[in-house]
Amino acid sequence: SPQPPPSRACRRTPRAYCCGMSSADRTAEKRIDFISAPRACALLQRHGMSAVNDAGPPPPPRRGVELVVKLGGAAITHKDSAVESLDEPALRSVAETIATAIEELRDAEGRPPKVIVVHGAGSFGHQHAKAYGVARGGAGALHELAPEDDVTKRLRLGFAKTRNAVCRLNSLVVSALVDAGVNAVGVSPFGAWSTRGGGKTLNVETSPNAMAVAIKTIDAGLVPVLHGDAVFDVDTDVAILSGDVVVRELCAFFKPKRAVFVTDVPGIFDKPPPKPARARLGVANEEGLPVHTKKKRLSVEDETKKLTLIREVRVDEKSKEETAANDAEDVSWRASRVAEGVTVTDDGGVAFADAATLFTSPATVFTSADVELPTSSAVDVTGGIAGKMREAASVARLGVDVYVSSRLPDGAAAAIRGRVARDALEVVPDENDDENDAARERVTKTTKKKRPWMGTLVRGVESRRRSKSRRS
């Protein structure tokens, strides 16, 4: 019978070793033959075996994913803590929001939407990665023939501790989602994902099956929960794969309708906003839905810190000469709509200077702005807020709208539930508004009909093109 053609892996390998019985000697003694790679592959296939690294081409891009949610490490942990510290009310609140969204977005036949969750490390992992230099890589220290010196031993220990910490957080996130009613399954990138450039992007050549587990999980009706991880890197031995890079790679492959970045602040500002009183977050109504507490102003000192909230970001379209968006190059962007003179309330929300003007005369509120983002003061080995904005812009260049906000009902929760009017940047009312408004102690017909969405929309390039065609 005709033999199958040599695999692609064998064709690109010049020589290979194959172990087999000597044709001249039928004894139990074996002989090592040095043969060509194509012949080795044919022999392996004849005996029902596969060649090493013969994974074949990666699967084609998938469609149909409704939502990718990124839970920032600072949103679900106390990132400034020197020890691992989970923010349980925050995690429980966002888990309930995701569960609510899945129920609300079921199709006519009752099938749940396809959702992917990714989370950062926060105080679980960043400390180890920084202390042991995992983010800097090994520069050959983890090679098979590397000397057993202190550098190698320390890097190995740091790598193991970092992975142990992020996997522990992943288990906590999955548990919170399952308790909220989400069929969540933890999926670690390590093993299937390897990077290049020190964790900057996925190395496709060595990660042909990076999306395989996520695909099978989604097709089974489950919600994969991935996370930032410590992985192998072709350039630096090891690297930190940030949750933001994971989101970018997932969006490049699955092309979801939208992505939501849940942070600890309600959007991107021109300067670091004051931290809210986090103990006031996580309040829920009788149905378990998160609601606002009363919007009490901050101190007089903080009240004078007027901020500019970047409400919408435009990303430049990619030219034909540029490389693919998942090559992690810097993507230029500009703030197309901003709200000036806002303050952050102690429940983590935004108090706009003039809500009426916000809706009736946007020209007096929204201006163009070029903003230089500050870096985070917390321990962050993945680039801080500037790196997250860069990744969000890269995702938007793929044609995916990215919503950045805190987890409150008029912030990331509304975006997760699909209740943000993209062009108006308003929260779309629903049947729960009467109860929620009463809980917030701000019941007026005007604000019930038109509430500004609290956050930053990084508008997807393709979706922007579609809105232009609709207007024309």
Q: How many CB atoms lie within 10 A of CB 169?
A: 25
Q: What is the pLDDT of residue 16?
A: 38
Tell me the C-alpha distance between 394 and 445, whole Å: 39
Place of tokens 């993209």: 422
Distance set, CA 270 to CA 123, 169, 307 (Å): 25, 31, 7
* Token pair for 109: 């036949």
Distance set, CA 323 to CA 169, 319, 388 (Å): 34, 9, 20
Element of type H or E holding 8: helix 8-11
Q: How many CB atoms lie within 10 A of CB 5?
A: 12
- Closest to 140 (Cα-Cα) out of 247, 233, 20: 233
Domains and CATH numbers, the chain: 8-46 (no CATH), 65-256 (3.40.1160.10), 268-471 (no CATH)
Q: What angle is formed at CA 249 by the lines to CA 325 and CA 335, rounded to 5 degrees? A: 50
Tell me the C-alpha distance between 134 and 127, whole Å: 10
Q: What is the pLDDT of residue 136?
A: 85
Tell me the C-alpha distance between 421 and 254, whole Å: 23
**What are the mean pLDDT values of the chain's consecutive 10-residue runs (472 residues total)?**
50 40 43 45 48 52 85 92 92 98 94 96 87 81 73 89 96 98 97 90 87 95 96 91 94 96 90 65 41 44 70 78 51 84 83 60 37 45 60 90 95 96 91 52 48 93 54 48
Q: What is the pLDDT of residue 296?
A: 46
